[in-house]
């Protein structure tokens, strides 16, 4: 790896973590508060639980506060979502609409093992 790539990656990774966490928190805000869609999904206990994991987990990941455990929980939630919702329509994500769930699952798994990195509140 060229020297400049190593220096840049130390700043690109936290940007990745912040964006992934913030976008995930937006999904939780939709479920919990009806943000952007006009109605919440609190009447369904599984959706309410998913909303809490997405909103709080996404915020924690974006802030870099307990990012590893929060990302690991979010990764698990996305794996469950994939198999409960998408996989019953076929295994392949491109066919069953589960690409975003798989992408979030493995993005959070990477964050869980990589840690918060720079620009985090973990200290």
Q: What is the C-alpha to C-alpha distance for residues 62 and 4, in angstroms, rounded to an integer?
A: 25
Residue ranges covered by each domain of the chain: 14-34+41-114
Walk along the chain (123 residues) and give the pLDDT tens digit of each residue: 567 777 788 899 999 999 999 999 999 999 999 998 888 889 999 999 999 999 999 999 999 999 999 999 999 999 999 999 999 999 999 999 999 999 999 999 999 999 999 989 974
Give the position of tokens 């190593």: 6
pTM of the model: 0.91
The radius of gyration of the chain from alpha carbons, rounded to an integer in Å, stands at 15
DSSP 85: I
Alpha-carbon gap, residue 1 to 30, rounded angstroms: 40
Distance CA 28, CA 33 (A): 8
């Amino acid at each position: 790896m060229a020297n400049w790539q190593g220096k840049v990656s130390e700043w690109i990774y936290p940007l990745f973590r912040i964006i992934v966490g913030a976008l995930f928190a937006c999904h939780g805000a939709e479920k919990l508060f009806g943000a952007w869609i006009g109605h919440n999904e609190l009447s369904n206990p599984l959706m309410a639980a998913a909303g809490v994991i997405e909103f709080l987990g996404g915020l924690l990941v974006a802030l870099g506060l307990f990012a590893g455990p929060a990302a690991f929980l979010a990764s698990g939630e996305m794996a469950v979502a994939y198999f409960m919702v998408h996989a019953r329509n076929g295994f392949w994500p491109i066919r069953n609409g589960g690409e975003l769930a798989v992408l979030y699952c493995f993005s959070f798994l990477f964050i869980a093992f990589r840690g918060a990195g720079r620009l985090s509140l973990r200290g």
